[in-house]
Structure 1
Amino acid sequence: MNLRLLIFLFSLIPMSLIGQEQIGLRLNFLSGISSVRLNPAAPAASPYRWEVSIAEGSAFLSNNYLFFRNARTGDLLNEELTQNILLAPDLANPETMPPGHLVLDFYNDARRRFAYSSVTIGGPSFYYKIDRYNSLGLITGARFIGSATGIDNDFSYYKFNQLRADELFTVSPFQIGMMGFSEIGLNYTLSSPAPEGSFNLGITAKFLQGYDALFFSSKRDFDLARIVGNGLAGTSGRFKYGYSQNLVSEDYSPEVTGRGIGFDIGMFVTVDGFEPGEYIWKIGFSILDIGEVRFQDTAERHNILSNNNDVKLYPENYEFVKDQSDLRELTRAFSFDVVGDSLATMQDNSISMMLPSAVSLQVDHAITSTVFIGGLFHHYLPLSNDGVRRGSLLALAPRFENKWVSLNLPVSIYNWQQVRFGAALRLGPFTIGTDHLGAWMNRKDLYGSDIYAAFTLFPFGQKGKKGGNNGQLPCYKF
């Protein structure tokens, strides 16, 4: 696979450097308004009567297709280095990196390929406890998400180049998606005392506004082969793809072209702890991002059901693709190559994009009144191929936490492949952290990175959760 063909294939995948779950922020029980994105019942666990998030932001990227050798995240922020990127296959010895350069290499193992990217910008948000049983809240924010899942290992750079001409390989179903949208959500929690603990429910209903979107999915297996000239020859297949029309504007700017509704629902139970108002165990379950954004009359949706066993694609036919403004011409050219008609695949002027739905299980154990160990399991729900997805996550997060200071040290396995060590520090209202500390501190194979920060106000009274009602709620009486 030469560089030109690689660019052609990756033009279909949103690989922009644009968190996933922000473990060091979402699992803290004193961060109720931040934790509502992980479990909408979270405010019920907070000892505070109210909490206001002024701003929050996160950025995340992970993939198992390519990586930078001997690099850390800061190197990608160095303009001089990013202008001097070398490809490892072009070097006699990739282990010896020339000074002042970055070396881009490709994974060479048997795994299927994935890529996930996400940026979240949290706007002003709050919750207020009406009484000890009920609370209301509001969340606002914008999210930009890209995902590519199920990419066959035969597309790996080195493996593809080792394929003989006309050697067929089977391509399994895969999914690619990207979407930017904003959300305004109304949150409600209901708490009920239970013997030796409490039972809590929460729901967030969200109004969504879509800015832009695209998707490409293969619905069934098909055969593919390299041919002379670095082209591809394929058998019959079924594909669905589409995009919002504002992406093809040469003067692109985000504007609302889609709308939708989404929901988060969750619950947790607690077992009473060391002092009144504290817990020793908290176990929660939530279903996140159930819903979709509909781009009505502002998009193109295409469908291909090809029985043609002689489809050929050549990268030189797609050299005109420079950026997202060439999407319309790209779809026309692809339609012509596959079915012989550049307009035959057009189905509708609307698309529906599913949110990155997931189920989540959270467990938190208080070892002392300030030392905790939390656990998180996160798995995507593949409700539709037309949309964006998130990766799976398993994490263990010991932490120290009191009213003014918290230190969280999460260890996580992302997508069952990548082990990451993180750290998050909260000083009063300000939190900063990363779930992938090694990407910032050490120079090694860099395949992804993340960072997050938040500024949140809460009652600053001197009495803590063990006494008084200085902006806080009394504990349950039986």
Structure 2
Amino acid sequence: MKRVVVAIIFVMVTLTAKAQSYVGFLTDNYSGVHGVIANPANIADSRFKTDINLIGASGFFANDYVGVGFSELTGSDFEFDTDANLYLTDNNNFSGNIDIMGPSFMFNVGKTSSIAIFTRARTILTGNEFNGESIDDLDDSIDESQDFMVNEGDFYMSGNGWAEIGLTYAQVLLNNEQHFLKGGLSLKYLQGFGNAYVTGKNVTIDYDADGATLPDSSTSGTLESTGDLYYGRSGDYDDDDYDYEVPDANGFGFDLGVVYEWRPDYDKYVVKGADGETSVMKNKNKYKLKLGLSLTDIGAVKYKGGLIDNYNINNTITQEDYDNIEDSEDLQNLYTFVQSNADINAKLPTALHFNADWNIKNHFYLNLNTDLTLRSSGENTMRTVNLVSLTPRFESKWFSFYVPISGYQYSGLQIGAGLRAGPLYLGSGSIISTFTRSEIKGADVYAGLKIPVYYGQPKDSDGDGIPNKEDGCPKKAGPIENNGCPWGDTDGDSVLDNEDQCPDKAGPVENNGCPWVDTDGDTLLDNEDQCVDVAGPVENNGCPWPDSDGDSVFDKDDDCPNEMGTVANNGCPEPVVTEEVQKSLNAYAKTILFTTGKSTLKDESTPVLVDIISILNEYPNAKFTVEGHTDSIGSVVTNQKLSEQRAQAVLQFLVKGGISPSRLTAIGYGESKPIATNMYKDGRQKNRRVEINLAQ
């Protein structure tokens, strides 16, 4: 039995594969229509105008039961019993698949959407929860006539083959410069080719080497077993000649996914056309980091009219019965058998995929991918193998090379290599480890041909980095901000329009191409005006004269620029009329002489009056009273009138001498304010006087 199990497993490696299809190739941004296998969102904003797959195939196998060296496996003298290494546990598993991708293509619908139509033929075979220790010990014990007891419990094996015709639609969901998001959905029609499964429930086996006594008194072994075995399959073979017929089996499935890209250098890939509209370079990968998340193979194939055999193996058989078991009819004769007819659902190997792709620099990338099965072990349930893969790669439009380093469930760490060269793609996720290790527990390989139609590098005749179709001047190099045209000089002032703040008016270079203006309207142009926003005289370079002390007298006219004064005093503070000055004025005034009995000034009074004018000019803001006085000779009325006339005569002389009349007041006091007695001649002479006093 051990030889049978081992042989079955290694036959499957040549017949099966899917879960981890095209390992390494699917990380490539130039995998084209194949991208829908991992994530249907991949085809949106791709590097292809269209991509046509002609034929491609991928095969995969992994197990944790048996390992062999590649050279031993391919040798002519290979023997399982001696050359295979068994790794026996109470929970051994295997998984394998084949994925053939037939004629398929993708193309873009507008600027943000893409569609793919694909065809695939797939088979998958899985086995879970086998007790490898029991299988090996049971076979050895029976061969060597030794007692043995095994509790196998539950185990599962299933296989399914089907074809898919799928339609994928992918759409850009967000394009916010640095942040880019796209989503996709694949709908698949499924046609089943064949399905079979074997399930064991509570299986136990007890072998007694001397359990039966034969007629000749010799003994023979007995095999006591309990539990149930279920064998279900689609009814696709004629019982007599085994002619294959396509079963009545179909179903629907779907995949969905999203992809996020971080594009920190987004501006490098934006082209502004002559019409002012912007476009993004289609032929370039624009991301620094790309993250993808997808669910695949959601659905099932329903096989109508399937057959289900149920064997209740609660029985004890002899060694001879065991040795004579060749087919199912022999089993039916030994155990309770019931066959039923019912529809069978073969569930697809639903899986969750996460992918992170980092653009290290230019053409070099590092990819992290995980595949996680969402199916648990069960009757007629297909499961993918869990996988974590790290893949460095070199990627360009016509050539890519990748080295996936993967940790596979069941078969462990494997290292592979793959390449894409134009229409050819081939590789393996395990080829390096297969040829460098002493033994392997799994392997995979893929190859195919396609017709890729890439977005080309846009033609740029003038070499300014702007494609001709977006270039306003395709034969003259110019900056992107001027639609690819060289900057002109519209006003001919030798300042190019991109730097000319007044492109339609000639102006000097030092004023950024604008003519000089007179901002403050003081007739001095701004280039010569040291105070362009405040009007000022030309002689002060366009600036207003300063008035440092704020006395309304500009510094240029202010004799005291740092000390507040008066306009009349040329900006200096007014002098104070002191008591000494007052005495000096009156001393002068007392020497003013008049003709006796009249108000006529004598000529000898002129120098005195001139001196008085000089003193008054020293106090330009001071006001004075000119007071006339007489002695008591004559009538009071006559004396009063004479004093007024004499005061007025002095005032007029002072006004004619330049003193403002507003500063002077003439008053006559007659004989009312004597300063000496009028009884004597000397006293009367002192009383006949003029006084000039500071007005209070």
CA distance in 2, matches of 1:45, 1:449: 33
Q: Can you list the C-alpha shifts for 1:126-170, whole angstroms capped at 9, x where unaligned?
A: 112212322211010211221112212324536863799554333
Secondary structure of 1:42's aligned partner:
helix
* Structure 1, 368-377 or 431-440: larger mean CA deviation: 431-440
- Tell me the alpha carbon deviations over residues 339-361 of structure 1, each in whole angstroms, 9 at most, x when there is no partner: 2xx3x2x2324322111221111
| Per-residue deviation, residues 175-213 of structure 1 (Å, max 9, x unmatched) | 101111111001111212244222221111111111111
Unaligned runs of 5+ in 1: 90-102, 322-329, 471-478
Task: Give yes or no for contact 2:21–2:60 (8 Å, CA) kept in 1.
Answer: no
Q: Is 1:32–1:45's contact at 8 Å kept on the other side of the alignment?
A: no
| Percent of pairs with identical residues | 22
Post-superposition offset of 1:442: 3.8
SS of equivalent to 1:388: coil
8 Å contact kept, 1:212–1:257: no
Report the Cα distance in structure 1 between the residues aligned to 2:153 and 2:360, rounded to whole angstroms.
47
Distance verdict in 2 for CA 1:443–1:35, change over 3 Å: same
1:252–1:436 Cα change, 3 Å: farther
User: Which amino acid is the alignment partner of residue 205 of structure 1?
Assistant: L
- Map residues 213-292 of structure 1 onto 2, 5 A cutoff: 213-218=195-200, 220-228=201-209, 232-235=223-226, 237-247=227-237, 250-253=241-244, 255-274=246-265, 275-276=268-269, 278-292=286-300
RMSD over equivalenced CA pairs, Å:
3.2
Name the SS for the 1:302 alignment partner: strand
Is the Cα–Cα contact under 8 Å of residues 54 and 104 in structure 2 kept in the other structure? yes
Q: Which runs of 5+ in 2 are unaligned?
A: 210-219, 270-284, 460-464, 470-696
Tell whether 2:179 aligns with 1:171. no
Deviant stretches of 4+, over 6 Å: 8-14, 464-467
Does the CA contact (< 8 Å) of 1:234 and 1:312 recur in 2? no
Identify the match of residue 323 of structure 2 among 316, 323, 336. Answer: 316
Query: Where does residue 455 of structure 1 map in the other structure?
Result: 449
C-alpha change, 1:137 and 1:35, in structure 2 (3 Å) is same
Are 1:211 and 2:205 counterparts? no
Of stretches 222-231 and 284-293 in structure 1, the one that deviates more from structure 2 is: 222-231
CA spacing shift, 1:380–1:317, aligned 2, 3 Å? farther
Contact 1:311–1:338 under 8 Å retained in 2: no
Q: Indicate the structure with greater strand content.
A: 1
Q: 1:117 aligns with which of 56, 71, 96?
A: 96
- What's the secondary structure of 1:245's corresponding residue? coil
2:78 corresponds in structure 1 to 85
Counterpart for residue 576 of structure 2: none
The structure that has the greater radius of gyration is 2
Match of 1:302 in 2: 309
- Following TM superposition, by how much is the alpha carbon of 1:373 offset from its aligned partner in structure 2, in angstroms? 0.7
Cα drift, residue 393 of structure 1: 0.8
- Select between 10-19 and 174-183 the one with higher mean Cα deviation: 10-19
Q: Distance in 2 between matches of 1:256 and 1:38?
A: 29
Matched residue, 1:363: 356
1:434 shift after superposition:
0.5
3-state SS of 1:41 partner: helix
CA contact (8 A) 2:394 2:402 kept: yes
Contact 1:230 1:315 in 2 (8 A): no
Superposed displacement of residue 69, structure 1? 3.8
Identify the structure with the greater helix proportion.
Answer: 2
Deviations along 1:198-240, one digit per CA (max 9) or x if unpaired, are: 222111111111111101123x5443334437875333x3443
Checking the alignment, whether the CA contact within 8 Å between 2:187 and 2:253 is kept in structure 1 is yes
How far apart in 2 are the matches of 1:115 and 1:259? 26
State TM-score, norm by structure 1.
0.79
Identify the residue that residue 401 of structure 1 maps to in structure 2. 395
Give the AA of the match of 2:168. Answer: N
Q: CA deviation at 1:265?
A: 1.4
Q: What is the aligned partner in structure 2 of residue 180 from structure 1?
A: 161
TM-score, normalising length from structure 2? 0.56
SS at match of 2:354: strand
Distance 1:451 1:11 in 2: 20
**Offset, 1:439:** 5.7
Whether the 8 Å contact between 1:13 and 1:177 is mirrored in structure 2 is no
1:65·1:156 contact (CA, 8 Å) conserved in 2? Answer: no
CA distance in 2, matches of 1:136, 1:258: 27
Alignment of 1:12-23 (within 5 A): 15=12, 17-18=14-15, 19=17, 20-23=20-23
- What whole-Å deviation, never above 9, does each CA across 1:249-284 have from its counterpart, x for those lacking one? 544446344211111111121111544351111111
